[in-house]
Homo-oligomer: A and B are copies of this chain.
Amino acid sequence: MSVAAVRAPDSRHRFIDAAIRLFARHSFAGTSLQMIADEVGVTKSAVHHHFRTREELLTAVIEPLLGALRAVVEAAEGQRGRRARAERMLAGVVDLAVRHRMLVPMLIGDPGATGMLRSRTEVGDLVDRMITLLAETDPGVGGLIKADMVMAGIAGGMSARTRGLDDDVLRRHLIDASRRTLGLRTPRCLT
C-alpha cells in the first residue's frame, strides 16, 4: 500500500474538521475550498482531490450525524406511549447535540447550510419525525411550536456562555429545560 493511500482517510478527516470550524465561524456560504486548504496548510488542489465542492464537504460533515439521528428517531418511535417516545427523542437529540457542539448550531441556523439540507428529502423527513415525536404529548399548533422551540433552543444552548461547561452538566440542563417547555416535567407540588 502506498503512503498516499494510507494517509488518504486521515487527510479527509482533517479537511472535514477544518470545514466544521470554518463553517461555524464564517457560515457555509462564507467558506471556500481555498479557506479550508489554508486552514489545513495544503494547496486547494489537495482539498479538491477529496472534495470537488463545498457541498460535498458539508455532506461528508453531516453524514455520520444523520445516521446517528436516524437511529435515535427509530429508537424513539419504537417506544410505547407518547410520553416515552418524547422522552427518548429528547434524550437522544440532546446527546447528539452535546457531542457535536460546534456543528449543531450551524445545521439549524445557517440558511446556506439548512437550504442545502432541506433539499435532501430524507433530512426533511427526519426533522418532521423528530418534531412529531416531541409534539405529540400536546396535540395541536401549541405542541408543534414547543417542539420547534425545543429543537432551536437545544442548538441555542451551545452558546459561548456554555462553551466551557462539562458535557454532562450541559446535557442535564438542556434536558431539564426542554422537559419544562414540553410539559413533560411533573410539577414539584404533585410529586
On whether A156 and B165 interact (CB within 8 A), knowing A29-B30, A30-B111, A112-B29, the answer reads no
> Across the interface, do B29 and A26 meet the contact criterion of CB distance under 8 Å?
yes
> Across the interface, do B131 and A161 meet the contact criterion of CB distance under 8 Å?
yes
Number of interface residues of A (CB under 8 A): 50
User: Which candidate, A1-9, A59-67, A75-83, A172-180, is the interface stretch facing chain B?
Assistant: A172-180
Cβ-based interface call for A153 (8 A):
yes
Report how far A111 CA is from B141 CA in the complex, Å: 29
User: Nearest Cβ in chain B — how far from A20, in angstroms?
Assistant: 12
Cβ-based interface call for A150 (8 A):
yes
Cβ-based interface call for A85 (8 A):
no
Residue in chain B with minimal CB distance to A149: B153
Residue in chain B with minimal CB distance to A158: B148
User: Nearest Cβ in chain B — how far from A147, in angstroms?
Assistant: 9
Residue of B115, B156, B183, B189 touching A153 (CB-CB under 8 A) = B156
On whether A27 and B25 interact (CB within 8 A), knowing A156-B108, A161-B144, A183-B180, the answer reads no
> Across the interface, do A156 and B146 meet the contact criterion of CB distance under 8 Å?
no
> Across the interface, do B109 and A109 meet the contact criterion of CB distance under 8 Å?
yes
0/1 per residue, A106-135, Cβ < 8 Å to B?
Answer: 101111100100000000000000010000
> Across the interface, do B180 and A157 meet the contact criterion of CB distance under 8 Å?
no
> Across the interface, do A145 and B131 meet the contact criterion of CB distance under 8 Å?
no
Report how far A148 CA is from B178 CA in the complex, Å: 12
Residue in chain B with minimal CB distance to A131: B161
Beyond the given pairs A26-B115, A27-B30, 7 more chain A to chain B contacts, judged by CB atoms under 8 angstroms and listed by A's residue number, are A26-B29, A30-B30, A106-B111, A108-B156, A145-B177, A152-B159, A153-B153
